[in-house]
C-alpha cells in the first residue's frame, strides 16, 4: 500500500496538467505516492497529456478516461475505487489548489486522528457573484448537516483510506462528501485553512446552476442520511399527524351538525361546508403518506446494503 493517493478529476485542463504534476513531484519528492488523473470526457488534449505523464512516470501516474462527461462526482468515485494509499487526497486540476497543503493535510489524518480533513479557502480569488452565494450555501449546509465546516465544496480534502472505500459519490453529491462520511460512521471531521490560487488557465466549468442543483442535492442527502434506513419514521409520522388532525376537523364538523339536528337549529348541509372537503382531503393524504412509508420500509428491508454497518474495531 502506498502512503498517498492523489485523486484529480478533470475536464478540459490540458494547460495545467504538466505543471500540476511537476508541482506535486516537488512537494512530495521520493515519497511513496500515486497520482490518479480521472479525465471526465475532456474534449481537448488532456488525455494525451495524461498518457504522456504516465509513460514518463509509470510507477506513480494512473489514468482513467470516461467515455463522456459524467460530472465531478463520477470522477471522484472512480478515483476512490482505484486509490491504494493510506491517505487519499483530492484536489482540482486547475492549479487553484496548492499541493503545498498536502503534507499538513496528511499529518492531520495520520497524527491527529481525523477521518476527513476539508480545506477552507478563507481568502478567495473569486468575484462577489460567487463568494456571496457560496457563503450562504455553506451556512445552510452547516445548519442541515450539523457539521461545522466553512467550505464544504472545497476540492482539496484528505481522507483516511477506509472512508473513500465506504462512501458512494453519485449524482452531484461531491459537494456533500463530509455528510456522506458522517452518515457512514466517520464523524471525526476536521478543517484546515488552505491557499486559494487565482485561476491561471481557462475558465470555470461551473455556472450559477450549481447553486440550484446544490440546494436540491442538500435536501436529498439530508433526507437520505436521516431516513434511508427508517423511512416509516418520516412518512408514517407525517401521515399519522395529517390523518389525525384532519379526522379531528371532520369530527368537529360532524358533531356540530349532530348537535344542531338534536336541538332543532337550522344548519348547512355537511357537503356545503368547505372545511368538510379540506378534512376529507387531509385524511386521504395522511393515509397515502402512511402507506408510502410502509411500502418504503418494506423495500428497504429487502435492500442487501441495509445491514452494511461500518465497524471501527474488532476483537476475535
Q: Dihedrals φ, ψ of 114, to 5°?
A: -75, 150
Report pLDDT for 101. 94
Q: pLDDT: is 146 or 20 the higher one?
A: 20
For the chain, percent of residues with pLDDT exceeding 90: 45
pLDDT grade for 6, boundaries at 50, 70 and 90: very high
Report pLDDT for 265. 76
The CATH superfamily holding the domain 2-227 is Spore Coat Polysaccharide Biosynthesis Protein SpsA; Chain A (3.90.550.10)
Report pLDDT for 225. 65
pLDDT tens per residue across span 42-101: 999 999 999 999 999 988 999 999 999 998 999 999 999 999 999 999 999 989 899 999
Report pLDDT for 212. 66
Rounded to the nearest 10 degrees, the angle between the axes of helix 274-301 and helix 232-263 is 150
Indicate whether this model's pTM tops 0.85.
Answer: no
Report pLDDT for 210. 61
The cell 360532524 sits on which residue? Answer: 254
Domain boundaries, the chain: 2-227, 232-301
Q: Are 116 and 178 in contact (CB under 8 A)?
A: yes
Q: Dihedrals φ, ψ of 119, to 5°?
A: -70, 150
Report pLDDT for 232. 79
Tell me what the pLDDT averaged over the chain comes to. 84
Residue 223 confidence (pLDDT) above 80: no
Report pLDDT for 199. 67
Residue 38 confidence (pLDDT) above 60: yes
Report pLDDT for 304. 58
Give the CA-trace dihedral at 209, 214, 215, 219, to 10 degrees. 140
Lowest mean pLDDT among 55-59, 197-201, 208-212: 208-212
Amino acid at each position: 500500500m502506498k502512503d498517498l493517493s492523489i485523486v484529480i478529476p478533470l475536464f478540459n485542463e490540458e494547460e495545467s496538467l504538466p505543471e500540476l504534476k511537476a508541482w506535486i513531484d516537488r512537494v512530495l519528492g521520493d515519497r511513496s505516492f500515486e497520482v490518479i488523473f480521472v479525465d471526465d470526457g475532456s474534449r481537448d488534449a488532456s488525455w494525451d497529456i495524461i498518457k504522456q505523464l504516465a509513460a514518463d512516470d509509470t510507477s506513480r501516474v494512473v489514468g482513467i478516461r470516461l467515455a463522456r462527461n459524467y460530472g465531478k462526482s463520477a470522477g471522484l468515485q472512480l478515483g476512490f475505487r482505484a486509490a491504494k494509499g493510506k491517505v487519499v487526497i483530492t484536489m482540482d486540476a486547475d492549479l487553484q489548489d496548492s499541493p503545498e497543503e498536502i503534507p499538513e493535510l496528511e499529518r492531520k489524518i495520520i497524527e491527529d486522528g481525523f477521518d476527513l480533513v476539508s480545506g477552507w479557502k478563507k481568502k478567495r480569488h473569486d468575484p462577489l457573484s460567487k463568494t456571496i452565494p457560496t457563503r450562504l450555501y455553506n451556512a445552510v449546509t452547516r445548519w442541515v448537516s450539523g457539521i461545522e465546516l466553512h467550505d464544504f465544496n472545497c476540492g482539496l480534502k484528505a481522507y483516511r483510506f477506509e472512508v473513500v472505500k465506504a462512501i458512494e459519490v453519485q449524482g452531484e453529491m461531491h459537494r456533500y462528501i463530509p455528510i456522506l462520511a458522517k452518515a457512514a460512521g466517520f464523524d471525526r471531521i476536521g478543517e484546515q485553512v488552505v491557499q486559494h490560487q487565482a485561476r491561471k488557465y481557462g475558465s470555470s466549468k461551473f455556472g450559477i446552476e450549481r447553486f440550484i442543483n446544490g440546494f436540491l442535492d442538500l435536501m436529498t442527502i439530508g433526507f437520505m442520511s436521516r431516513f434511508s434506513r427508517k423511512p416509516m419514521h418520516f412518512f408514517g409520522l407525517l401521515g399519522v399527524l395529517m390523518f389525525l388532525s384532519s379526522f379531528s376537523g371532520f369530527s368537529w364538523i360532524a358533531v356540530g351538525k349532530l348537535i344542531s339536528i338534536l336541538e332543532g337549529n337550522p344548519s348547512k348541509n355537511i357537503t356545503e361546508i368547505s372545511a368538510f372537503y379540506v378534512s376529507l382531503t387531509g385524511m386521504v393524504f395522511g393515509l397515502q403518506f402512511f402507506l408510502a412509508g410502509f411500502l418504503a420500509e418494506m423495500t428497504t428491508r429487502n435492500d442487501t446494503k441495509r445491514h452494511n454497518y461500518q465497524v471501527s474495531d474488532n476483537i476475535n
